[in-house]
Chains A and B, each alone.
Chain A
C-alpha cells in the first residue's frame, strides 16, 4: 500500500523518505515530551502575556517536579 503511494508520488527517493521519517520521529517525540509537562508550569506560561504588571519570577516558580 505505502509502496504504491510512494511509487506514484513520482520517483520519490531516499531524501523524501528520510525527511518524512525525520519529521515523524521529531514530531512524535516532541508530542510525547510535551504531554509530560507539569500542568502548573504550563498554566504559568500560558498566562504570561497577562502578567505585564505583575512579574512572575522563578522565586515563586514552584512547579519543579
Chain B
C-alpha cells in the first residue's frame, strides 16, 4: 500500500448552500402560492404594483429555479464532488465568493423584479448588470470545480461529475447567447436580436435552462445520492454513459418546440419536434437507471423516507420527460400550448423531480453533516405524503383546466361560429380548478414547513463537522497507462478533454439551428407596411414589459381557424422585425393581443386598465390604477431611440433629438380622443396610460388599417 494523504472535506460551504436552498425554497413556493391565489382572488395584490401577478410570477420562477434549485445544485455538487474526487475544494475564497455572490444576485432579483425591472425573457428576466454578475459568479464556480478536478486523488471521473461539467459549460454558453443586449441605461437594455430570431434564441435558452439547470445537474445528484441512500451501486454504468452523451447532444435542439405553430420557419419547428421526441430515450434511460438502482432495496423504500422522496422524484422525472416529447408533437401542442397544461407539466418537474430530490438529499445529508440522526422519521414520512398529495392536487386540476379551456377555445357552433366567442367565458369556467391548484400549493407549503421543523430539530440535536477528515493515496500513485485503452476510460481521466467534447456536443445543435436564422436575412420576409414603433408606442411597450403583461397575454395568433376567427389574421414573422424583445408570451390567462390594435376605442383601454371588471365583468385581471396616476418618464426616450438605431431600427438620423416632441404630439392626440369619450384628468396627456394605449392600438396593425390611437 502506498503512502496515504490526510486531508479534510469542507462541509461548511455545503451547509451554507443547504440553508440557502431551504430558505429560498420557502420564499419561492410562498410567492408561487400567492400568485396562484391571485388567479382566484385578484384583489390579493392589495392594489400594490410590486405585488401584482405580472411582476411576482417572474419572481416566483426565478426564486424556484435559481434560488431554491440553484442553491440545491451547489449544495449537492460541493458535497459529492469532494468525495468523488477525494479532494477538498480547490479554493476556500472562491467557494465563499460563489456563495455570497449567488445570494447577492438572488437579492438583486428579489428587488428588481417586483420593481418591474425586467428584460422580459422567461427565466432570464434579470437586467444586464445582474447578468454580468451571474457570469462572474458562474466563472468562479467553474474555476473552483475544475481546480478541484485537477487536484483530485481519484483518477477516474464518476458519471455525476460529467453531468456537472456539461451543466457548467452549457449554462455558460446559454447565458451569454441569450443575454446579448445593448444597455440603454443602468437598468434597461434591448436585445441584439429581434422578433423571430429573438424568440428562437430565447427558447433555445429557455428550454435548456430546464435541461441544463433543472435536469442535468440533478441527474448528477441522483447518480451520487441515490446509490448512497440505497447503499447499492448504480444499476448500469454502461447505460449512464450512453444516456449522458445522447441527452446532452439531443437536449440542445429541443427549444423550438416552445414555438410550434408560431411564425418561426417550419424547418426550425420540425427540428424541435424531431429532437424532442427523440429525447424520451435518453431521459427514460436515466429514469430507469435510477429506479433500477433500487433493485433489491424496495423493502427499504417502504420504511425510509429518503428513498421514498427519491423514488417519487425519479418517477416525476419520468412523467415529465414522457410528457415533454408528447407535448412537442404538433397535433398535441395545438391543444396544450398557451394553456395550464404546460403549467401542470413544469410543476411535475419542479415540485416532483427537483423538490423531492432536494428534500431526499437534505434528509439524508444534514444528519451526516451534524453527526446525528434525523429528528423524526415520522415527520419526514408525513412531509412525504402531504407533499405528494400537494403535487397531485396541483397538477391534476391544471391538466383538467388546460384541456377544458383549449377545447372551449376551439369549439364551433353548427353554424360555424365560435361557441365561446368571449374569451372570458373560457377563464371563468376553470377558476374552480385554479382554486384546487391553490389547495395543492398550500399542501406542498405545509409539508415544507414540516420539513423545516424536522431539520431545525435535527441540526439542534447534533454537532456540526465543519472539516470532515478523510484520507486517500495521492495522484502520484496512479498507474501509467500504456498501449491501447478504451476511449471512454481515456476521456474520464481527462476533464479538459471531457469539457471540450461536451462543448462540441452541445454546440452542434445550437449552431445548426441558430446560425441560419441569425445570419440569413431571407428567413424573415420583410413587410413594407410594418413600421418601427413611435417614441410613445415604444414607451408604452416598455410599460407592458415592466408590468409583466406577457405573463398572461400572448402576441401570436396561430394559423388555426379557431384563432383567426377569434383574433384576426394569423401572425407573420415579418411583423416582429422591430420587436426588441419579442413578446409572444407562453400562456393565455387572458386573450391574445397581437390584433388588439384598433379593435376597441382608446377609452375602452383606459377604463379596462382602471378596473377590468367595468369592461369585462368577472375578469380576473387586476386593476392598474397607477398607470392612470403616474406620469410617463421620458428621461430615457432619446437614449432608447439611439440604442435601437445602433441595433438597426431605421429611425431617421438625429431622430433622438426630436423623439420626445413627437411623443408629446401623439400623446396629445390620444388624450384628445379620450376627452371626446368623456374621460378627463389633470395632465391626462402626461400619464403612463396614454403610452400604453398607443402601444396596444399599434399592435398587429402593420398588415391592417391604421390604428385607432389618437385618430
In the docked arrangement, what's the CA distance between A5 and B241, Å?
31
Check if A15 sits within 8 Å of B516, measured CB to CB. Answer: yes
In the docked arrangement, what's the CA distance between A19 and B488, Å?
23
Q: In the assembled complex, how far is the CB of residue A9 from the closest CB belonging to chain B, in whole angstroms?
A: 5
Q: Interface code B114-149, partner A: CB below 8 Å = 1, 0 otherwise?
A: 000000000000000000000000000000000000
Q: Which residues of B contact A23 (CB under 8 A)?
A: 246, 249-250, 278
Q: Which residues of B contact A58 (CB under 8 A)?
A: 155, 477-479
Q: What residue of chain A has the Cβ atom nearest to residue B238's Cβ?
A: A34
In the docked arrangement, what's the CA distance between A52 and B242, Å?
25
Check if A20 sits within 8 Å of B238, measured CB to CB. Answer: no
Check if A10 sits within 8 Å of B223, measured CB to CB. Answer: no
Check if A55 sits within 8 Å of B86, measured CB to CB. Answer: yes
Q: Interface code A29-40, partner B: CB below 8 Å = 1, 0 otherwise?
A: 011011111100
Q: Does any Cβ of A come within 8 Å of B486's Cβ?
A: yes
Q: Of the candidates A15, A43, A45, A53, which one forms a contact with B271 in the assembled complex, judged by CB atoms under 8 Å apart?
A: A15
In the docked arrangement, what's the CA distance between A9 and B256, Å?
14
Check if B249 sits within 8 Å of A15, measured CB to CB. Answer: no
A45 touching B479 in the complex, CB below 8 Å, given contacts A10-B269, A19-B508, A57-B154:
no
Check if B241 sits within 8 Å of A34, measured CB to CB. Answer: yes
In the docked arrangement, what's the CA distance between A34 and B487, Å?
9
Q: Does any Cβ of A come within 8 Å of B489's Cβ?
A: yes
Check if A42 sits within 8 Å of B223, measured CB to CB. Answer: no
Q: Does any Cβ of A come within 8 Å of B524's Cβ?
A: no
Check if B508 sits within 8 Å of A22, measured CB to CB. Answer: yes
By size class, the interface of chain B is 35 or more
Q: For residues 487 through 523 of chain B, which have their beta carbon under 8 Å from a beta carbon of chain A?
A: 487-489, 508-509, 512, 516
Q: Does any Cβ of A come within 8 Å of B601's Cβ?
A: no
In the docked arrangement, what's the CA distance between A57 and B487, Å?
19
Q: Does any Cβ of A come within 8 Å of B560's Cβ?
A: no
Check if B223 sits within 8 Å of A33, measured CB to CB. Answer: no
In the docked arrangement, what's the CA distance between A36 and B273, Å?
33
Q: In the assembled complex, how far is the CB of residue A20 from the closest CB belonging to chain B, in whole angstroms?
A: 7
Check if A45 sits within 8 Å of B237, measured CB to CB. Answer: yes
Q: Which residues of A contact B84 (CB under 8 A)?
A: 48-49
Q: Which residues of A contact B233 (CB under 8 A)?
A: 43, 46-47, 49-50
By size class, the interface of chain A is 35 or more
Check if A45 sits within 8 Å of B159, measured CB to CB. Answer: yes
In the docked arrangement, what's the CA distance between A52 and B225, Å?
12
In the docked arrangement, what's the CA distance between A53 and B227, Å?
15
Q: What residue of chain B has the Cβ atom nearest to residue A8's Cβ?
A: B270
Q: In the assembled complex, how far is the CB of residue B334 from the closest CB belonging to chain A, in whole angstroms?
A: 14
Q: For residues 62 through 97 of chain B, which have their beta carbon under 8 Å from a beta carbon of chain A?
A: 80, 83-84, 86
Q: For residues 164 through 212 of chain B, which have their beta carbon under 8 Å from a beta carbon of chain A?
A: none
In the docked arrangement, what's the CA distance between A64 and B270, Å?
45
In the docked arrangement, what's the CA distance between A54 and B242, Å?
28
Check if B508 sits within 8 Å of A11, measured CB to CB. Answer: no
Q: What residue of chain A has the Cβ atom nearest to residue B228's Cβ?
A: A49
In the docked arrangement, what's the CA distance between A63 and B608, Å?
73
In the docked arrangement, what's the CA distance between A10 and B559, Å?
15
Q: Interface code B237-254, partner A: CB below 8 Å = 1, 0 otherwise?
A: 110011001100110010
Q: Of the candidates B270, B473, B481, B484, which one forms a contact with A16 in the assembled complex, judged by CB atoms under 8 Å apart?
A: B270
A9 touching B237 in the complex, CB below 8 Å, given contacts A41-B489, A58-B479:
no
Q: Of the candidates B225, B227, B246, B267, which one forms a contact with A15 in the assembled complex, judged by CB atoms under 8 Å apart?
A: B267
**30 pairs across A/B with beta carbons < 8 Å?**
A10-B267, A15-B267, A16-B267, A18-B512, A19-B508, A23-B246, A23-B250, A26-B249, A34-B238, A34-B241, A34-B242, A35-B238, A37-B489, A41-B486, A43-B237, A45-B159, A45-B237, A46-B236, A48-B154, A49-B158, A50-B228, A50-B231, A55-B86, A55-B471, A57-B155, A58-B479, A59-B1, A59-B473, A59-B479, A65-B485
Going nearest first, the 10 A-B pairs with the smallest beta carbon separation are A55-B472, A46-B233, A10-B266, A46-B237, A47-B233, A58-B479, A58-B478, A48-B158, A49-B227, A57-B473
* Interface residue ranges, B against A (CB under 8 Å): 1-2, 80, 83-84, 86, 153-156, 158-160, 223-225, 227-228, 231-238, 241-242, 245-246, 249-250, 253, 266-267, 269-271, 273-275, 278, 470-473, 477-479, 481, 484-489, 508-509, 512, 516
Add 15 more A-B contacts to A23-B250, A31-B242, A57-B478 (CB < 8 A): A9-B274, A11-B267, A12-B271, A15-B516, A16-B270, A26-B249, A27-B245, A33-B486, A37-B238, A46-B235, A48-B84, A49-B234, A50-B228, A59-B2, A59-B478
